[in-house]
Structure 1
Amino acid sequence: MSVLVQVLAVITGVVLIAVGLLEAFRYKDQRLHPIFLIKPEDTDAVRLWTVNVGFYNIVWGLFGIAGVVLANSGEVTVGRTVVAMMCIAHAILGMVLIISERRLWLSGIGQSFLPVVILWLMFAG
């Protein structure tokens, strides 16, 4: 993996972890309403899903960072595969977000953009 791909993969991982922490622990904060679209009266009802989705993102972010660490520890194929899996997942999940909730189109693009760039750099570059 090129240095650029590794840097972008770590950035993507850190962003996923940060968003996951917000989803898991700050979903009740109405300052984040534009991101999550959760009304105050619905926070108890959506707790199960927001916490789980948050931890999915945290785990995917950790995988992306671990892939870079593995690649730099001599396990290049394994590391590259882990990074590619993170990127494929989030490229798809960003599109699903746009399709399932059009008001979150910007979040969907944000979720997909770096993973698509990374995949392009990995496989077309």
Structure 2
Amino acid sequence: IALHAGFNNYGEYAFKQKNRDYSIDDCYKLHESIEKYVVPIWKRIGSLSKKNHGFKTYRPWDLTPCNLPKAPFQNAIDLLNGVEEIFRKTDLYFYEKFIHIRKAGLIDVEERENKAPGAACFT
């Protein structure tokens, strides 16, 4: 399909078809940032959880939000402010993108009727 439509690969075709305002390279940059900043923190949390709970092994499902000492945020504004602060401290490119989509009202994280708890939409 992609080749017949004049694209080099399906990824390029799909991004155009879905009107993405970010590129495949942007996805790779996000992935790299997560590997660089989030994964080490997650591993540290896992190590602490393993030690504190006496686990021999640690799996991602061994730690749930209710095991954390306090809620990471109280409402949607706190959540978005926290994400903004994380991006500001770790990756200015994604910080600027986040500011843009937040100001444009393209992030929907508030809970409401007929929406799954914890669900988020980014348009």
By the TM > 0.5 criterion, same fold?
no
Considering only CA atoms, is the larger Rg found in Structure 1 or Structure 2? Answer: 2
Instruction: Give TM-score scaled by structure 2 length.
Output: 0.29
Q: TM-score, normalised by structure 1?
A: 0.29
